[in-house]
Structure 1
Amino acid sequence: MAWNALKKNGLFADDTELAQLMMTLSGTLILTRDAEGVHVQRLASLVSNNNLISALLRGGEVRVYQCDEKVKCLQPTLTSKTIDMSHGLESKVRDLILDMASHIKDNVEQSEAVKGLIESTQYPVMKMVSVQLAFMKDSTVIDTTRYSEAIAIDILFQYLNENLQLIKQAAGTLQYPEAIMKEFQSDLTQARQDLTQMEGTAHQRMSMAMQMIQETQTIEQMLVGEFSSELTQSLSWANQLR
């Protein structure tokens, strides 16, 4: 279940290592059929391993569900891996923000990975980058560090929330036993709680989000009438998205 959702998201579709980490965070349900009928296997979330979230965000040593193959991932196995810092979600977000800024500056369509980033967070990333780019005049000096951590954490929350929604949608089908569905839902709820405890309170994250949005709005007001036509077009599109 989780793997299918991840492979449909442009942010994770071409990054098997990160997708496997995300599946390890949430856990998953694997549905198979044979002559004897339908079988459901649950792989529990490993979020209780203290280093999982840290490794997901910034790299490190971690135990992860590794797929037997990349398409269906029906027989994943638990293995130890070292995740390079450059392959962590924070680093990926930073790189995609810079890529987004470069495409905005050149008036080029965004990549599927960037589109996946935009769709995976509640933050108005496209608008924030458009305004910052207009202010800095150079896509290579955009301050991505102040945004990347908050956006990466929000992506984790949104991913867990989407899995909870999938659970609700699948709960009414006979294919998924009620007991297993409840266990999976409990895993997702616990993962959200552990993420909150590790990265700070929900109030602190909301304050960070409001500060980011307010800063974007303030700079936008300062720059009224000074946007290039390309940046104005990008900002207009971003406003439609968010």
Structure 2
Amino acid sequence: MKSKKNFTGAIGAWLTNELHPANATYSSPNSNFSSIKLNGIYSTLDYLSIGWFGVDMSNPSSPTLQTSNTYLAQQVLDARAQNPDITIFALLAYTQEITNDLQTIINNPALLTTFAINVANFLANNDLNGFDIDWEQPTSQLSHKQCGYWLNALSKAFGDTYYLAISASSNQSGNVNNLNADAVNANVDVFNLQSYWVSDPSVFIAHGINADLLGFGAYLESGVTALYASQQYAAGIQY
């Protein structure tokens, strides 16, 4: 049950479908995905956000999630094999097209309810535990009210079955302003600090985000080193 899991001080990570190095396959001994398994990374995590996901508007009256991540099922299997208790989130990408679709959905209460229910069903069908929103531009262009409506609808559809997370960056102007702190505190299970963007916890706490929601998210792609991630964790864990 969702109400029994506490993410206070949790350690998480982001994982996309970026395969490295060039010409590697998913199971190549030198691939990034094999390295994650061989070094026991999944076993060290409380939660894992897997990208990327978008909004599927092919049926305008019943929008849902979609993904181009061909490795999703294998990533979920690998993570659960090493850590049966890990919480796995579907990570929403941040593009202008997605933001435009969200504007359309959120501004229509009936459509928003349908979308939230469809997101919950998508999570069930893909053995995922929750939904993580990458809150940075252009997604952060959503208004304070729209943010609240969206989080409230998702939380209602998820009930005690699925988790809701926000991964917000504090390094871009405007990312914090439209966050609805009341809605975040009421509905979100973990507020993921983006280590690779040097997200400053004090910025979010000053905005009204409950400090007990803060989790730490290391990014496992694009050359971010474990040393850098551990340094950012040490700097932020005091909060």
Higher fraction of helix? 1
TM-score by length of 2: 0.23
Higher fraction of strand? 2
TM-score by length of 1: 0.23
